[in-house]
Amino acid sequence: MEEQNNSGAVNPEAQSKPPAQPVPAAAPRGAVPWLKLIAGLYALSLIAAFFVINKADAARRNRPKDMDISKLTGLIQSKKDAVAVIPLYGVISQGSSSRSWENGSQQIAKRIKTLAAKKEVKAIVLDINSPGGTVGAVQEIYSAVLKARAETKKPFIARFGEVSASGGYYVAAACDQIMAHPGTITGSIGVIFSVSNFEGLMKKVGYRNEAIKSGKFKDIGSATREMTPEERKLLQGLIDDSYEQFVKAVSDGRKMSIDQVKLLADGRIYSGRQAKEIGLVDSLGDLQDAIDQAGELAKIGKNPRVLSDSDPFENLMSLVDSKLSLFGTKSVVEAIDLAPSLEYRWYGR
């Protein structure tokens, strides 16, 4: 509304007067010092950045053209170099499937191949805590180590945990060096073929089994009857052949004669310290000692960066798979596994 005087006429001064503007609120007293501090720090950072840029530019201009920068390159590269650690725990078997999160021999062999092929991996430590396993599965991992060593020329160190016997030792024989604890249980170099016999029990419960077969050896190893002398002779030949393969692997890996190995390979077990005294182990130490040794062999020094082959997704799936097995998702036959098998295995645990 326009302002009017007492006579009703419009006041010209009020008509030309601009509307009042809002007064900005004053900044809080406590905020002013903080704003000044932030501004000061920002200015200092700009000055420091300018100083560093000038120094770097001056160094670049003054560097001789023939300067050797190989040491600098080596320093940068060494930060990427690593030693890979691959665990080999429990009984060694092929596994019931090809799922990547299972620890069957095919998955372990694949990890060995994959990690050995990585440029940043300069050496590999096999962390073995196993009593051995089936002949085929053990030899699959053994062959993977030999192939990786031949193709990449990278050093492999076998580290023994509380147990590395029979097939566990077979795998280690493929490595450049073996390290164990003084109290590690190792050795048990040999082969076993276990066959159960429930014939007496089945007679008591009235169970009878009949096999219709194409040849007399087709049901060899059957748990429902006694083994014949011919079958025993045939199986002994199979075991002897697998035993000779084991002895040859140890002889090649430990640089020992066949006769020397056979003196040690009667199935007996040794402590880590005893194994070192007879030449089955190179040195005594823990996992970190093995990693340091691998770093020195790879010429990247002690306490190197460690690269694990574990994958979070695979670890999760492995955990889920193991938990589901507790609720009956695996058959009773698979859990008990009564089928006879040829094994490089120590049955002490």
* Beta carbons of 104 and 93 less than 8 angstroms apart: yes
Residue type, 312: P
Q: Annotated catalytic, 166?
A: yes
Write down the catalytic residue from 17, 55, 218, 248: 218
In the 8-state DSSP scheme, what is residue 92?
B
* DSSP one-letter string for 93-134: ---SS--TTS--HHHHHHHHHHHHH-TTEEEEEEEEEE-EEE
- Hey, how many other C-beta atoms are within 10 angstroms of the C-beta on 128? 28
Backbone angles phi, psi at 131, to 5 degrees: -85, 5
Q: Whole-angstrom Cα distance, residue 331 to residue 342?
A: 22
Side-chain half-sphere CA neighbours of 280 within 13 A: 35
Write down the catalytic residue from 93, 164, 166, 242: 166
Q: Whole-angstrom Cα distance, residue 168 to residue 177?
A: 14
Q: Annotated catalytic, 218?
A: yes
Residues with catalytic roles? 166, 218
